[in-house]
Amino acid sequence: MPVFTESAASTRELRVLPSFAPPLPRLNAPFSQQNQPDRYEVVVVGAGPAGLMLNLLLARYGLSDESLLCVDAKPGTLKSGQADGLQPRTLEVFKTLGLADEILTDGCHMEEVAFWNPSANAEEVIERTAIVPDVAVPARYRHEVTIHQGRIERILETDLLRYSSRGIQRNSRLVHVAIDEAADAEFPVVAELETNGQRRTVRSKYLVGADGAHSVVRRCMGLQLVGESLDHIWGVVDLVVDTDFPDIRRRCAIHSPAGSVMVIPRERIATGDYLTRLYVQVPEDAVPEDGVNEDVQKPVDEAAAKMDARARRSKVTLESIFQHAADAFQPYYIKPRKGGAVDWWAAYQIGQRVSDRFTVKDSKGIERVFIVGDACHTHSPKAGQGMNVSMMDSYNLAWKLAYVINGLTPTISPIPDPILATYHSERHTIAKQLIEFDRAFSSMFSGKIGSADDGVTGLTHDQFLQVFSTGNGFTSGCGIEYPASLIVQQHQEQQSHQTSDTTVSTAATSTTLPLTPASANPIYGTDYLNGILRPGRRLLNVTYKRHADGNRRNLHDDIPSTGRFRLLVLTSTDLLDPTGISATTLRALGSAVLPKYPASVIEQIVIHPRLAREFFTWRDTPDELKQYSEMRFYSGYELEDVYGVYGVDPAQGAMAVVRPDGYVGTVAALGDVWRVDGFLGGCLVRV
Amino acid sequence: MPVFTESAASTRELRVLPSFAPPLPRLNAPFSQQNQPDRYEVVVVGAGPAGLMLNLLLARYGLSDESLLCVDAKPGTLKSGQADGLQPRTLEVFKTLGLADEILTDGCHMEEVAFWNPSANAEEVIERTAIVPDVAVPARYRHEVTIHQGRIERILETDLLRYSSRGIQRNSRLVHVAIDEAADAEFPVVAELETNGQRRTVRSKYLVGADGAHSVVRRCMGLQLVGESLDHIWGVVDLVVDTDFPDIRRRCAIHSPAGSVMVIPRERIATGDYLTRLYVQVPEDAVPEDGVNEDVQKPVDEAAAKMDARARRSKVTLESIFQHAADAFQPYYIKPRKGGAVDWWAAYQIGQRVSDRFTVKDSKGIERVFIVGDACHTHSPKAGQGMNVSMMDSYNLAWKLAYVINGLTPTISPIPDPILATYHSERHTIAKQLIEFDRAFSSMFSGKIGSADDGVTGLTHDQFLQVFSTGNGFTSGCGIEYPASLIVQQHQEQQSHQTSDTTVSTAATSTTLPLTPASANPIYGTDYLNGILRPGRRLLNVTYKRHADGNRRNLHDDIPSTGRFRLLVLTSTDLLDPTGISATTLRALGSAVLPKYPASVIEQIVIHPRLAREFFTWRDTPDELKQYSEMRFYSGYELEDVYGVYGVDPAQGAMAVVRPDGYVGTVAALGDVWRVDGFLGGCLVRV
C-alpha cells in the first residue's frame, strides 16, 4: 500500500493499551492527604482473596492511593492458600471484571460429579452409581473451576497494579483498631500498624477487616464467632497421583466401607501433570473396624469429645492419610506418582461458625468498621465455598462503600448510611445459610451410605444425591437471594408510588405519559433459579443480538463490574408505534429520569421482542433510544427467548433496575417510570 | 477451618504464575555466544506484526536471547500502524497462543456486512440491498475483529517479554546484509546494524527480513517485487462519527451514484466512543460529475496515467475525503463527532505486487535469508488481509526454522533443508492468490454497481455479492490450501509405503498388526472448507467431550502453538474389542511409533465414535491409550458429529498427522501406521 500522506492524532497511541475500567464520578470534594498525614478514606486489613477483591474494586471505582490503603502482614505476594475452587457465580463476577480468561484457560473445569458407593458385588467393593452434572443450575459457566488460591490472588494483584502504584503494603501488621470520634470525627477509625517493626497510627473514615479466621479486627471490635465444632477429622492433600481409579479426573464422592473420600480434580501444572486434591476421612479411633457407626459411640459430653478429638488430630500424618485413602479406593490402587508429587497437605476438623455482626457503628450510627471473608465465617472446605463467599462479601461491600465515599448516595433519616447498612443484612443472611448448608452437607458426607443404622441421617444414596442437587442453587452461588431492603424492593410490598418522596418531573419534557401508574408485578413465574426476574437475585446471563451491528453478545458483558446501575427495559411488541407504551416509556426515561442522576452512573439496556416488522432503523424508534442505548439495544428472540427466561410477557414488557453487583433491585411494569425513579432516588442523589 | 497442621512443598508457589509454553527439545548442542561475540542463530529485522510474531514464536520454542536477536529501527513500542483487521484464521492462531482474550473482549466483532446500492426511489438515493454474515465459512470464530494494529503489537511484545529479557532491540537499523560463507560458513549471513548511530556487524545462521514494504533485506538480496499499480485513489480515515446512517456499526459496502465507501466499524475507545474507519473513493479528476465511467476516460499510456495519478493524489486532503464521503452517504449525514475526533487519515493508490522469491540460499543450497510480511507482498487494505497474511508468513516459517536449529529435522539429500524450502513454496502460493484476489476485489469495489456501461466488470449487485461470498474462504484465512510437498502428502499421489525409506519395527513389541497396509484414502467427501480432512488445509475446530472428566472442549485447545506435531486418531466402532483394528493400531502407535521420535514432540489425540457400550473405563482399552492420551481422549458424537465433519466413516476410522502450525500433513487409514510413520520420518529425526 503506497501511502503517500498520512496524519495521526496523538490520542491514537493510547489505543494500544489494555482497557481501563472508567472510575465512578465523585460528587464529594476530591480527597487529598495534603494537610492530614496518615489519614485515609478506607483502610483494608489483609490481602487474601477477600481483601484483594475489595481493594481492587475500590481502586477501579476511582479511589486513589492517597485515599485507600491495603496492608498485609506477610512479606510477599505468594500465599500458601488452601482454597482451590471457584463457583459459577464467582466465575461470572471475574468475567465482568475482565479477569476470567486465565482462570478459564488454565484452571480445571469440573463439569461432572461421580458417586461411588458400596457394591453388591463383593469383588468390586465399590461401584459408580451415578455421574451427574456438577452444576445443575443455569449460569454463564455451568461448571466449577479448580485452581490454586495463590494464583487467584496473583491475578487480582496484577490487575490492582494497573490502578494503584502502591499496591499492597506488605509486612504491615494490624496491632490494634478502635473507634475514637473525640479527636477526629471525620476520621474516627484509629488503626495501629506495625511495618517492618516500626509502629505508626493511621486514621480512616472506614476500615475493613479481611484478616482471616483469627481476625484482629474482629477481636478488637468485640465481635463474636458463634457456632460449634464437630468432631469429624479429615485429611486433605494436593498431589499428582498414580492410580487406576477410572474417575480420578472427575469430582467424586466416594462412600466406601472403609471410609469416605472426596476427589477434586485440579489444574495442570508446569510439568504437564495434573494435580488432584483428596479429602480423606480419618476414621474415629473409637470406631471398630467392623463399621459400626461412630456417632453411636460418640461420648455424650461434648467438651470431652473435643479434647479427645484434638488428641486424635495430632496423630494424623501424611502416611496415615494415604493409608486411609488407599483403603477407601479398594479395589483400585492410588499413590503419589513419584517422589515430590505431594504439593501440600493438612488435617482439620469440620466446624461452622459465624460472627454475630459484620459491621460496627460509631456513636452517630454510621457504619465505620466492617469484616469480610473468613473473619466473618468459618466452615468446612468440602463444598468449595470459602474463597467464593469471601470474595462475594467484598463484591457486595465495595460499591456501597465507594458510593458513600464519592457522595453518590442520598441520606435518608434516621439511618445515616442506609445503603452501607445493607452490607450486614445481606451478607449475614448468606453466611447463616452457608453455615447451615455446610453443617448438613458435612454431616451427611461424613456419614456412611447404605448402612441402615447410620445415626447421622440414615442416608441412602438417593437422599445424598438429592441434597447435593438441591443444594446446588446455593453452592453454585447462583441461587442466593438477598432480603428486602432499600436496595431490594419486593413487589409484594405494594410500595405505592403516590406516597413516595420522589417524583418524576414530566414538566421538563414534552412527553406526557398517558399511563396510569401500575404497581402490579409484571413478571410471571416463580422459577427464579432459572432466570425469572426477582429482586434480590442476580440477573441471569442471556445471549442476544445487537441491533446496531448484528453482534451476538452476552448480557453479562453489558453489565461489567464498573460500579454502574443498569436500567433494563424489555419493551413490548408495540415498540415501532410512536404513541405506544414502549416508545412513550423510552422517551420519558431518556428525557425525565436518566438526566436527573449523575452522568454515566446509570446505563440503559433495551431489549425488544419479535415485532410486526423484522427490519427497522433508528428512524422508527424514539431518539432517546439511540441517544442512551445505541450499542445496548438488542433483539431478545433471535438467539434465546429472553422474555421467556425472564418471565416477561412480550405484549406487556417490563423494566428492572440492576444494582452495580448484578443483583436485581426492583422490577416495574413498562410505563411505571415512577417506580423506577423512586427506586433509583433511594440509591442515588439527583443532580 | 481450624487447620492444625499443614505442609507445603516449595514447588507449590510456582503454581501461581501464568502458564508458560514448554520449549521444544534441542538435539543439537546448546548454543552459546561465549566464544563467538555478535553471532546469533537467527536475526529478525523489523518488529511489526510479522517480526513480532516470528520472534515470539522462536522465543517460545526455546531460542534464548543469546541465540535470537530482533532489531527495529523505531525508538518505541508504539506504532502508528495502518492495519486494523484480524481474520477468523488469525483469531484461531492467537487463541492457540493464549493471546486472543483481550482481542476478543475489547475488539470490535464484525459479524455482518450490509450492502448499499443506488435506490430506485429517487428520494432515498441509496438503499440497503442485503445484510449477510461477514464470515460464511466454518471457523472457531465466525467473525472478524477490528482493533488497532499497535495494540496487536503491544500484546505480542508483552508476551515476548515473558520469554525474552531483551525483547526487541530498538533504534537499530539494518544498513546492509550479505551472505559471506568464506569467513565463517556456519554463520554466513552478515548484517551491518546501526544502533543509536553506532555501527556494528553481526553474523547469523539465518536472517529474516520483516522490514516492510521498503525492505532493506529484500533490496540487498536482489529480490524483486513484481506487479503493477492501478490508479484508483482512495482515502482512509479513522474517526468517531456523528451520523444518522443506520448501518454505521456494520461493515458496509456502499456503492452510491456519488462514489464508493467502505465502512469498517472499529473498537470502543477509552472515552466510551466507538471508532469507525471509512474507505472513501476519491473520484478521478477526469471524470465529470455526471457519472460517466472513469475507465472509459483513462489515458491509454500507463506511465502517463501513473504520473497523472501521482499529481492528483497530492491534492487529496482530509476535507476532500470528508466531502466525498458526505456525497456518497446522501441522503444521510456523516461528519466527525466533534473536534479531535479524527485519529488518523491517509490517501493511497491501490497496487498489488509480490516478490519473486521469499528466500535466498547460500552456495550449498541452504536457505539463509527469508522475507516475511509486507516485504514479500503489497496490496490494497480493503479486504483486511495485510496484517493477517504477514503474521501467517511468520507462523509458517517459525516452527520450520526452530526445528532445523534444534536438530529435529532429518536431512534428505539432495535438498539440505527440505522443510525450510517449503516456506517459499507454501507462502508464495498464498501471496500470489492474495494478489489475484485483491486485484479482482479492488477493481470491483472501485467500479459502480448498476451502471450497465461499467468498463471494469459491468458488475451487478448480485455478482458483487457472489464474489464477496466465494472469496470468503480465502479472505477468512480458513480456506487456504498449501501445495503438495514433503510436509503436505496428498493421498492421490499413491505414495507406496513399500518403497518408503522408513519402516515400522514391530519386532520391539508383542503387537502384531493383522492388517495389510492400506493406502486408500479413508476420507469421504470433498467439502474441505467445511471440515473434510485434507492435507494442506488447516484442521477445523470441533467440540468434543473428554472421557476422563466429561469436559466439553474445543479441539483447537488441544493443539496449542507449542510447536508440536499432533497425531489424530479417529478410532472405529470396534475400539472395545481388544483384537480389533482400533486397539491394535493404538498399541502399535504407542509401542512402535511414538517412542521412536524425540520426547514430547508428538502429541496423540484420540477420538471415538458411538460404541456398542456407552460406559466403559480404561480397563476396556489398550494401556497405550491411557499412557499417551489420558487427557486427550474424546467421544466424537455427543457434542458434534466429529466423524461427519471430518469425513470419516465411524466403521472404518482414520488417522491424520497435524503439523505444528495446525495444517493437516497427511491422512491415513486406521491401521496404516506405516503411512503415519513414513510421514513423521520425513519431518522428524528418530532417536
Higher-confidence residue of A425 and A120: namely A425
Cell of A595: 438526566
Closest CA to B587 of B664, B647, B504, B651: B504
Ramachandran region, residue B647 (left: φ > 0; alpha: ψ -120 to 50; beta: rest): left
The pLDDT value given to residue A231:
61
**Residue located via cell numbers 466465575:** A91
Please report whether residue B440 resides in a domain.
no
C-alpha distances in angstroms, B307 versus A1, B225, B229? 17, 20, 12
CB-CB neighbors (< 8 A) of B6 in chain A: 80, 82, 344-346
Cβ neighbours for A21, distance < 8 A, ≥ 6 positions apart = A60, A98, A163, A560, A561, A562
The pLDDT value given to residue A449:
53
Q: What is the chain A residue with the closest CA to B354?
A: A1
CA distance A38 to A99: 32
The pLDDT value given to residue B300:
47
pLDDT at B283 over 90: no
**Residue located via cell numbers 458513600:** A404
Strand A68-71 relative to strand A39-45: parallel, antiparallel, unpaired? parallel
Ramachandran region, residue B567 (left: φ > 0; alpha: ψ -120 to 50; beta: rest): beta
Show which of residues 95-124 on chain A sit within 8 Å of chain B, judged by CB atoms. 98, 101-102, 105-106, 109-112
B351 vs A2, A9, A14: nearest CB: A2
Higher-confidence residue of A233 and B375: namely B375
How many A×B Cβ pairs under 8 Å? 223
Q: What is the DSSP string of B542-596?
A: -EEEETTT--EEEGGGGS-SSS-EEEEEE--TTTT-TTSHHHHHHHHIIIIIGGG
Say whether B618 and A246 touch across the interface (CB within 8 A).
Answer: yes
Cell of A686: 439527583
Angstroms from A551 CA to nearest CA on chain B: 6
The pLDDT value given to residue A138:
95
My answer on whether A285 and A408 are in the same domain is no
Domain with B235 in it: what CATH number? 3.30.9.10
Please report whether residue A5 resides in a domain.
no
CA distance B358 to B374: 11
Say whether A549 and B249 touch across the interface (CB within 8 A).
Answer: yes
Please report whether residue B426 resides in a domain.
no
pLDDT at B590 over 70: yes
Cell of B117: 446500492
pLDDT at B400 over 70: yes
Cβ neighbours for A19, distance < 8 A, ≥ 6 positions apart = A98, B105, B106, B268, B270
Average the pLDDT over B272-297 and give the result: 63
Angstroms from A491 CA to nearest CA on chain B: 35
My answer on whether A185 and A256 are in the same domain is no
pLDDT digits (tens, 9 = 90+) for B593-619: 999 999 999 999 999 999 999 999 999
Cell of A640: 434465546
Q: What is the chain A residue with the closest CA to B11?
A: A343
Angstroms from B93 CA to nearest CA on chain A: 15
Average the pLDDT over B144-165 and give the result: 95
Query: Helix, strand or coil for residue A22?
Result: coil
User: Mutation test of the interface with chain B: which of A314, A334, A352, A549, choosing the one with the most B Cβ atoms within 10 A?
Assistant: A549
My answer on whether B158 and B276 are in the same domain is no
The pLDDT value given to residue B309:
65
CB-CB neighbors (< 8 A) of A5 in chain B: 313-314, 316, 346-347
- E-strand spans in A53-171? 68-71, 85-86, 108-110, 112-118, 126-133, 144-146
Q: Choose the final residue of a domain: A418, A443, A461.
A: A418
Q: What is the chain B residue with the closest CA to A548?
A: B249
Least reliable range by pLDDT among A10-14, A138-142, A606-610, B525-529: A10-14
Within an 8 Å CB–CB cutoff, is residue B10 touching chain A?
no
B111 vs A153, A310, A549: nearest CB: A549
Please report whether residue A108 resides in a domain.
yes
What pLDDT band is residue A628 in, cutting at 50, 70 and 90?
very high
Average the pLDDT over B542-560 and give the result: 97
pLDDT at A407 over 90: yes
My answer on whether A529 and A569 are in the same domain is yes
pLDDT digits (tens, 9 = 90+) for B624-664: 999 999 999 999 999 999 999 999 999 999 999 999 999 99
Least reliable range by pLDDT among B37-46, B54-63, B459-468: B459-468
pLDDT at A473 over 80: yes
CA distance B405 to B399: 10
Amino acid at B628: Y
**H or E element at residue B209:** strand B198-209
CA distance A394 to A681: 24
Domain with B590 in it: what CATH number? 3.40.30.20
Write down how long chain A is.
Answer: 687
Closest CA to A206 of A53, A23, A417: A417
Show which of residues 290-329 on chain A sit within 8 Å of chain B, judged by CB atoms. 310, 313-314, 316, 318
Please report whether residue B377 resides in a domain.
yes
* pTM to 2 decimal places: 0.92
Residue A643 and residue A637 in contact, taking contact as beta carbons nearer than 8 Å:
yes
The pLDDT value given to residue B304:
65
> What is the complex's ipTM, to 2 decimals?
0.90
Average the pLDDT over A243-258 and give the result: 95
Say whether A351 and B2 touch across the interface (CB within 8 A).
Answer: yes
C-alpha distances in angstroms, A218 versus A195, A225, A350, A373, A374? 20, 9, 21, 11, 11
B550 vs A131, A380, A381: nearest CB: A131
Within an 8 Å CB–CB cutoff, is residue A552 touching chain B?
yes
Closest CA to B524 of B611, B650, B683: B650
What pLDDT band is residue A496 in, cutting at 50, 70 and 90?
very low
My answer on whether B252 and B294 are in the same domain is yes
Show which of residues 195-214 on chain B sit within 8 Å of chain A, judged by CB atoms. 213
C-alpha distances in angstroms, A379 versus A279, A350, A441, B678? 15, 7, 11, 59
My answer on whether A167 and A103 are in the same domain is no
CA distance A414 to A416: 6
CB-CB neighbors (< 8 A) of B248 in chain A: 548
Least reliable range by pLDDT among A575-589, A662-676, B212-226, B371-385: B371-385
Cell of A441: 452437607
CA distance B655 to B672: 8
Strand B198-209 relative to strand B189-195: parallel, antiparallel, unpaired? antiparallel
Within an 8 Å CB–CB cutoff, is residue A1 touching chain B?
yes
Q: Choose the final residue of a domain: B396, B421, B446.
A: B421
CA distance A178 to B423: 71
CB-CB neighbors (< 8 A) of A213 in chain B: 1-2
Within an 8 Å CB–CB cutoff, is residue B16 touching chain A?
yes
Amino acid at B326: A
pLDDT at B684 over 60: yes
Say whether B78 and A112 touch across the interface (CB within 8 A).
Answer: no
Amino acid at B518: A
Within an 8 Å CB–CB cutoff, is residue A512 touching chain B?
no
My answer on whether A372 and A516 are in the same domain is no
Angstroms from B325 CA to nearest CA on chain A: 18
The pLDDT value given to residue A38:
92
Average the pLDDT over B521-527 and give the result: 94
Average the pLDDT over A591-595 and give the result: 97
Burial class (CB in 10 A: 0-12, 13-18, 19+), A493: exposed
My answer on whether A55 and A194 are in the same domain is yes
Instruction: Compute the CA torsion angle B283, B284, B289, B293 (nearest 10 deg).
Output: -100
CB-CB neighbors (< 8 A) of A238 in chain B: 12
Burial class (CB in 10 A: 0-12, 13-18, 19+), A610: middle
pLDDT at B499 over 60: no
Q: Choose the final residue of a domain: A350, A383, A403.
A: A350
Average the pLDDT over B285-311 and give the result: 49
The pLDDT value given to residue B250:
97
- E-strand spans in A1-125? 3-8, 39-45, 68-71, 85-86, 108-110, 112-118
B344 vs A12, A14, A110: nearest CB: A12
**H or E element at residue A597:** none
Say whether B351 and A267 touch across the interface (CB within 8 A).
Answer: no
Structural domain span for residue B342: 85-145+228-351
Ramachandran region, residue A62 (left: φ > 0; alpha: ψ -120 to 50; beta: rest): left
Instruction: Compute the CA torsion angle A508, A514, A520, A523 (nearest 10 deg).
Output: -90
Query: Helix, strand or coil for residue A627?
Result: helix
Show which of residues 168-197 on chain B sit within 8 Å of chain A, judged by CB atoms. none
pLDDT digits (tens, 9 = 90+) for A42-65: 999 999 999 999 999 999 999 999
Angstroms from B183 CA to nearest CA on chain A: 39
My answer on whether B123 and B220 are in the same domain is no
The pLDDT value given to residue A380:
76
Cell of A301: 459430653
Please report whether residue B8 resides in a domain.
no
CA distance A654 to A658: 13
Say whether B82 and A343 touch across the interface (CB within 8 A).
Answer: no
Higher-confidence residue of B489 and B510: namely B489
Query: Helix, strand or coil for residue A646?
Result: helix
CB-CB neighbors (< 8 A) of A265 in chain B: 549
pLDDT at B235 over 50: yes
Show which of residues 617-636 on chain B sit within 8 Å of chain A, judged by CB atoms. 617-619, 630-631
Angstroms from A541 CA to nearest CA on chain B: 16
Higher-confidence residue of A115 and B440: namely A115
Domain with A197 in it: what CATH number? 3.50.50.60
Please report whether residue A73 resides in a domain.
yes
pLDDT at B17 over 80: yes
CA distance B289 to A133: 68
Say whether B378 and A112 touch across the interface (CB within 8 A).
Answer: no
Classify residue A588 by its DSSP letter.
H
CB-CB neighbors (< 8 A) of A600 in chain B: 272
My answer on whether B655 and B548 are in the same domain is yes
C-alpha B37: how far from its chain's center? 35
Longest dimension (CA), chain A: 92
Please report whether residue B333 resides in a domain.
yes
C-alpha distances in angstroms, B287 versus A338, B272, B439? 80, 41, 22
pLDDT digits (tens, 9 = 90+) for A198-243: 999 999 999 999 999 899 999 999 999 887 766 678 899 999 999 9
pLDDT at A645 over 90: yes
My answer on whether A382 and A395 are in the same domain is yes
pLDDT at A77 over 70: no
Task: Indicate the average pLDDT of chain B.
Answer: 88
Say whether B15 and A267 touch across the interface (CB within 8 A).
Answer: yes
| % helix, strand, coil for chain B, step of 5 | 30, 25, 45
pLDDT at B69 over 90: yes
Closest CA to B556 of B476, B480, B478, B651: B478
Least reliable range by pLDDT among A523-537, B471-485, B623-637: B471-485
The pLDDT value given to residue B10:
73
pLDDT at A445 over 80: no
Query: Helix, strand or coil for residue B295?
Result: helix
Say whether B2 and A229 touch across the interface (CB within 8 A).
Answer: yes
Residue A380 and residue B1 in contact, taking contact as beta carbons nearer than 8 Å:
yes
My answer on whether A197 and A238 are in the same domain is no
C-alpha A668: how far from its chain's center? 25
A98 vs B105, B244, B270: nearest CB: B105
Average the pLDDT over B429-447 and give the result: 81
Cell of A650: 412480550
For chain A, what is the domain count?
3
Task: Indicate the average pLDDT of chain A.
Answer: 88
Q: What is the chain B residue with the closest CA to A386?
A: B1
**H or E element at residue A571:** none
Beta bridge pairs of residue B8: A344
B15 vs A11, A151, A546: nearest CB: A151
CA distance B94 to A334: 39
pLDDT at A456 over 70: no
Q: What is the chain B residue with the closest CA to A267?
A: B15
CB-CB neighbors (< 8 A) of A229 in chain B: 2
pLDDT above 90 as % of chain B: 70
Cβ neighbours for A290, distance < 8 A, ≥ 6 positions apart = none
CB-CB neighbors (< 8 A) of B348 in chain A: 1-4
CB-CB neighbors (< 8 A) of A554 in chain B: none
pLDDT digits (tens, 9 = 90+) for B103-135: 999 999 999 999 999 998 888 999 999 999 999
Classify residue A593 by its DSSP letter.
I
